[in-house]
Structure 1
Amino acid sequence: MDEREFGEITVQLEQEATLREKLKDESSKLDQKSRSMQGIMNKIHATPTSQLPKLIETVKPLIESCKQNAKAMAEIVPPNSFWRWKNTWAQSIQGIVFVLALCRFLEKGTLITLSEANEAIGVQEEWSDRFTIATEDYLQGIISLVNELSRLTVNAVTLGDFDAPFRISIFVKDLFAGFSLLNLKNDGMRRRFDSLKYDVKRIEEVVYDVSLRKLNM
């Protein structure tokens, strides 16, 4: 290998280092927003059901602002390099999906789809080889939703909403049935899915207790 080849390698290394730093910086901004949104939504456990719409409205500007970060990252990542750099923002995206899914459930009682989640943060179809929400990250966010709803089931009753456990139970059981159809080969994903049965059990126990005491009548 001659000096010219070493020179080319040096240039490539410098370019990759610059790219990595740019992505790290933009990913850090996205992570900050993700954490802020999750912090706001954590207040649902001490917020009466009637006041949840106002709480959700406070997080929507942050969700909207994620579009700027998504666009910036799509412009930084080279074509056909999505899987090489995905892990840079994976955790932040999982948190954002969780917030999006939680807001959707609290507002409409339905599940946000992967395409709707992408749309919410401004991801364009032509970015698929550079920046998008990976299916695995979407599913991780949905599992976090179930974990949170399990906790909300208990706290909703404490706040006097005795119907919430029943709504949550139906929704979570449908989700669990859907996950059961998936052939999950990722060990981390599989372990998280297996933990959902404990969330389902916890929710069922609350539903049983509320029913037994006839609190929802």
Structure 2
Amino acid sequence: MDAMDVDYLNELLEQDVEIREKIKQQVSDLDKKVRVMVGILIKIHSTPTDTLPPLLDSVRPILRSCHDTSAALASLVPPNQFWRWKEMWSNSLRTAVYSAALVEYLSSGSLITLSQASEVLGIKEEWADRFSIAVEDYLHGLISLVNELSRLAVNAVTLGDYEAPLRISVFVKDIFAGFSMLNLKNDTLRRRFDSLKYDLKKIEEVVYDVSLRKLTDSTKSAVRK
């Protein structure tokens, strides 16, 4: 190995270190934003349903601020090097997807799609080879959503919202059915999917208890008939 080769290799190593440090700074910024969002969203467990909109409105500006971070990350990653660097932001992005998904469910009762999650976080299609939401990261975000909704099913009853567990049950069963049709080969993702069975069971127990006590409008109507 001659001196020119050594210099060239050192230059490449220095470039990698520089890119890594710049990516790390942006990921740190994303981490701060997702921590704030999670901190706000945890309050759903002690917030009555009719007063949720202001809480969700306080999260939306933070989601929009992720657009700047996404653009910065996309500008830092060289073309066709997405898979080389993605592990640096995967965990943060999964939590960001979870936050966006929870806001979407609590706002509209619907499941956020991969393309919708990308749009909410300001991630453009043309960045696919540099910065995007990997399918597995999107799915991890949805599993975290179900984990949180299983808690909400219990806490909603405590707050006097007896219809929420029924809505959550239908929604989660639909997600579970979708996951069941996927060919999951990622071990971590597979294990987390298996844990959804316990969340589903927890929700079903709440629904059963609410129905047994005839606390929902549907069960009250059935009794009157």
TM-score by length of 1: 0.99
Query: 1:163 aligns to what?
Result: 163
Secondary structure of the corresponding residue to residue 136 of structure 1: helix
Residue 130 of structure 1 pairs with residue 130 of structure 2: yes
1:43 aligns with 2:43: yes
Deviant stretches of 4+, over 6 Å: none
Partner of 2:221: none
Counterpart for residue 183 of structure 2: 183
Cα distance in 2 for residues equivalent to 1:127 and 1:137: 16
Percent identity between the two aligned chains = 60
Amino acid at match of 1:168: I
Structure 2 residue aligned with 1:148: 148
- Matched residue type, 2:76: I
Root mean square deviation, CA, Å? 0.5
Cα displacement (A) at 1:122: 1.1
Corresponding residue number in structure 2 for 1:116 = 116
Aligned length: 217
SS in 2 for 1:80: coil
Q: CA deviation at 1:47?
A: 0.2
Greater shift after overlay, 172-181 or 117-126? 117-126
Displacement of 1:123 in angstroms is 1.1
Where structure 1 has 5 or more consecutive residues not aligned to the other structure, the ranges are none
Gaps of 5+ in 2: 218-225
Q: In the alignment, residue 164 of structure 1 is paired with which amino acid?
A: A
Query: What are the Cα deviations for residues 134-183 of structure 1, in whole angstroms up to 9, with x where unaligned?
Result: 10000000000000000000000000000000000000001100000001
1:2: which partner in 2? 2
Cα drift, residue 35 of structure 1: 1.1
Alignment correspondent of 1:18: 18
Q: What's the CA shift for 1:104?
A: 0.7
Take 2:79 and 2:95, find their aligned partners in 1: how far apart are those partners? 25
- Give SS of 2:79's match: coil
Equivalence map 1:55-134=2 (5 Å):
55-134=55-134
Q: Secondary structure at the match of 2:149?
A: helix
Give me the whole-angstrom Cα distance separating, in 1, the residues matched to 2:100 and 2:120.
Answer: 8
Q: How does 1:24-39 map to 2 (within 5 A)?
A: 24-39=24-39
Superimposed CA distance per residue, residues 99-155 of structure 1 (whole angstroms, 9 cap, x where no aligned partner): 111011111110000000001111111100000111000000000000000000000
- What TM-score do you get using the length of structure 2 for normalisation? 0.96
Q: Deviations over 1:190-217 (max 9, x none)?
A: 0000000000000000000000001113
Q: Note the C-alpha offset of 1:38.
A: 0.8
Asked whether 1:216 is paired with 2:205, we answer no
